[in-house]
Amino acid sequence: MDTVVYDPFFHDMPRFFNCTFKQLLADKHPTAWVQFERDEIEEEELFRIFFADGRPVDGDALKQHMAECYRYLDGMEALLERLATAGVRMHAFSNYPAWWRLIEDKLRLSRYLDWTFISCQPPLRGLRKPAPESFAAVVDHLGLPPDRLLFVDDRQANVDGALEAGIPAVRFESAEQLEEELRRRGFCL
C-alpha cells in the first residue's frame, strides 16, 4: 500500500468515521488491525473490537468505502505493465489482510504481479515487514539468492529490513523516481 496502490487508511478511513487521523489512532483497538493482517482474527471480530471502547462499526459499509478508495498511484499501472511486458517477475509483499482481494477485484493487479507474499496467507501468514522472518520467508519461497531480488517499498523501516536481509532495496517516492532507479539498475523498460 502506498507503493503501487493508494492506502486509504490515513485519510479516507478517518473520513468514514467522521474523525481526524489522530482521533482514529487514539480510539481504535491497539492491535486489532495488525491481528487482522496476520490472519489471527476474522473480519467479524475486527468489526466487533475495532474501537477500544466497543462502539459498533458498520463493517460492510467500511469495506465498501475502502474498496471505493483503492486506486493505482499515479504512473504505477503503466510502469507495471511495461515491467511485465519486459518479462520482469513481480510479487506483492504486503502487510495487508484478506481485503487484498478487494484491491484485486477493482484493479486486477494480477495482470502484472503475483499476490505471493501477503501477511494473511501462506507462505507469509502471521509475518509482517520489516521482521527478518518475513524477508527470510520470501527468499526461501522464491529459492533465489537475496541479491537476485529487488524490494521496493514506501517505508524506510521496510527498506532497511530488506537491506539487512541482503536484499537490494529501493524506497518508493513516485513512479517516475522508481522508473529512473530501475533503469539505473539495468532494467530494460
- Residues in the chain predicted with pLDDT less than 70, given as ranges, are none
Residue 185 has what pLDDT?
A: 93
How many angstroms separate the CA atoms of 124 and 136, rounded? 10
Contact by Cβ (8 Å): 147, 166: yes
Does residue 169 share a domain with residue 122?
Answer: yes
Residue linked to cell 509482517: 128
Output the pLDDT for position 24. 97
In this structure, are 88 and 160 located in the same domain? yes
Alpha-carbon distances of 8 from 34, 129, 134, 182, rounded to whole Å: 16, 19, 24, 27
- Domain-embedded: residue 3: no
Q: What is the CATH number of the domain that holds 99?
A: 3.40.50.1000
Tell me, yes or no, whether 5 lies in a domain: no
The number of helix segments (H) and strand segments (E) in the chain equals: 10, 4
Q: Are residues 122 and 90 in the same domain?
A: yes
57 and 92 belong to one structural domain: no
pLDDT of residue 187: 86
Tens of pLDDT, residue by residue over 108-139, are 999 999 999 999 999 999 999 999 999 999 99
Residues of the domain holding 99:
76-184
pTM: 0.93
Does 4 fall in a domain?
A: no
Q: How far apart are CA 104 and CA 149, in angstroms?
A: 24
Q: Is residue 189 included in any domain, yes or no?
A: no
When divided into structural domains, the chain yields a total of 2
- What is the predicted pLDDT for the residue at 46? 97
Q: 145 with 166, same domain?
A: yes
* Residue 188 pLDDT: 74
Last residue of a domain, one of 69, 93, 117: 69
H helices of the chain, in order, are 12-16, 21-27, 32-37, 43-49, 59-69, 76-85, 100-107, 132-142, 156-164, 175-184
Whether residues 18 and 61 share a domain: the answer is yes
Q: What is the pLDDT of residues 9-22, one digit of tens each?
A: 999 999 999 999 99
